[in-house]
Amino acid sequence: MQMNREELLRAYRAMRTIRVFEERLHTEFATGEIPGFVHLYAGEEASAVGVCMHLSARDKIASTHRGHGHCIAKGVEVRGMMSEIYGRKDGVCGGKGGSMHIADLSKGMLGANGIVGGGPPLICGAALTAKVLKTGGVAVAFYGDGASNQGTTLESMNLATVWKLPAIFVCEDNGYGEATPSSYAVGGSQAKRAGGFGMPCHEVDGFDFFAVHEAARIAIERARDGGGPSMLHVKLSRYYGHFEGDAMTYRAPGEVERVRAAHDCLQRFRQRVTETALFGHHDLDAVDQAVAEEVEASVRGAKAAPLPSDTDLLTDVYVSY
């Protein structure tokens, strides 16, 4: 673990923010106040943060419908995100996108995507831009085991390979594509698919931040150095349903509790860093406190924020028309 104290704190804070944000949404959604669909990332934090710790604004990511974690990891403002999810005018997308379309291009976050498999082609484009304009940037597509079967994902892997794009395909395999297990839906293996295209694949324990971080480092450096694309096959678990309201009856009773008790990525991170001389529990508790306040403030702010005005219905379809 070659991260310094400041980096480790930053990583912890990012993961903790995602966890608290998502858990808070879970309770708020149940009150009925949040419009539309919400897909929670809680449990998967190590993947988003492990990868995004290596990225800056010149690097681009594309996400899925389950995009809050990637947004937070990429530096999108929590307050703006919460407002967006509540459909308020001061949301990062002016309330026009909602949870499934949260984006902040200024931070290199090309959006959560309501279309499964929508991200990988976009990321090939972002990587192409980096290559043509020689920015030195890379582009990361986060997608799920469900999306791994979309033609767009497979085509994108081939395209990234033949064009030698600085792209990284991060398959966040939580074992379920909606309600259908990946053991049923995914033929062969993720790694062999990557291999089929001539792309290296790292098998990663998605509950272990440091494992993700290290695999991501190798893949990102390879891409930046002009070595072309790689895949990370990150095995993890989502603690909540496909969407909020999903009773998860397709999962074995107690499955989530067992995973949470044994493998939780925040727990494991805390354990690992407090073993070193760098941190004590109180350091991390202080972060927990700050995060709780930030998320609480974002919810209060979002609830009080104004709705978009009627005229906002018609704006920003085009740059000019």
Partner 1 sequence: MSKKSYRAAINEALRQEMRRDPTVIVMGEDVAGGTDSAGEQDAWGGVLGVTKGLFGEFGRERVLDTPLSESAYIGAAAGAAATGLRPVAELMFVDFLGVCFDQIFNQAAKFRYMFGGHARTPMVIRAMYGAGFRAASQHSQCLYPLFTHIPGLKVVLPSSAYEAKGLLIQAIRDDDPVIFLENKVQYDEEEEVPDEPYTIPFGEANLTREGEDVTIVAFGRMVGIANAAADRLEKQGISCTVVDPRTTSPLDTGTILDCVTETGRLVIVDEASPRCNMATDISALVAQEAFGALKAPIRMVCPPHVPVPFAPNLEDLYVPNADKVEAAVRAVMGYKTKETV
What is d(CA 143, CA 124) in angstroms, rounded to the nearest whole number?
14
Burial 122-153 (b: 16+ CB within 10 A, else e): bbbbbbbebbeeeeebbbbbbbbbbbbbbebb
**Interface with partner 1 includes 75 (CB under 8 A)?**
no
Within residues 94-113, the interface with partner 1 by CB under 8 A covers: 94-97, 101, 103-106, 110-111, 113
**Interface with partner 1 includes 320 (CB under 8 A)?**
yes
Of residues 135 and 274, the one with the C-beta less far from partner 1:
135
What is d(CA 225, CA 150) in angstroms, rounded to the nearest whole number?
29
Query: Count of residues binding partner 1 (CB under 8 A)?
Result: 49
**Residue 302 C-beta: closest distance to partner 1, Å:** 15
Of residues 161 and 274, the one with the C-beta less far from partner 1:
161
**Interface with partner 1 includes 223 (CB under 8 A)?**
no
Within residues 123-142, the interface with partner 1 by CB under 8 A covers: 123-126, 128-133, 139
Contact 226, 164 (CB under 8 A): yes
Of residues 163 and 243, the one with the C-beta less far from partner 1:
163
Which listed residue (92, 147, 204, 299) binds partner 1 by CB under 8 A?
Answer: 92
202: enclosing H helix or E strand: strand 201-205
**Residue 317 C-beta: closest distance to partner 1, Å:** 5
Of residues 152 and 230, the one with the C-beta less far from partner 1:
152
Of residues 199 and 256, the one with the C-beta less far from partner 1:
199
Q: How is residue 56 written in tokens?
A: 């800056």
DSSP assignment string, 157-191? HHHHHHTT-SEEEEEEE-SEETTEEHHHH--S-HH
**Interface with partner 1 includes 115 (CB under 8 A)?**
yes
Angle between helices 209-224 and 45-52 (to 10 degrees): 40
Residue given tokens 């794009």 in the structure block: 165
Of residues 121 and 175, the one with the C-beta less far from partner 1:
121
Which listed residue (27, 31, 32, 151) binds partner 1 by CB under 8 A?
Answer: 151
Which listed residue (23, 26, 158, 191) binds partner 1 by CB under 8 A?
Answer: 158
Q: How is residue 243 written in tokens?
A: 């969407």
Stretch that binds partner 1, among 159-167, 181-189, 210-218, 280-288 (CB under 8 A): 159-167
What is d(CA 112, CA 74) in angstroms, rounded to the nearest whole number?
12
Residues in the chain: 321
Q: Which residues pair with 202 in a beta bridge?
A: 232
Contact 99, 26 (CB under 8 A): no
**Residue 119 C-beta: closest distance to partner 1, Å:** 9
What is d(CA 245, CA 117) in angstroms, rounded to the nearest whole number?
23
**Interface with partner 1 includes 243 (CB under 8 A)?**
no
Binding-site ranges for partner 1 (CB under 8 A): 60, 62, 91-97, 101, 103-106, 110-111, 113-115, 118, 120-126, 128-133, 139, 151-152, 155-156, 158-159, 162-163, 315-321
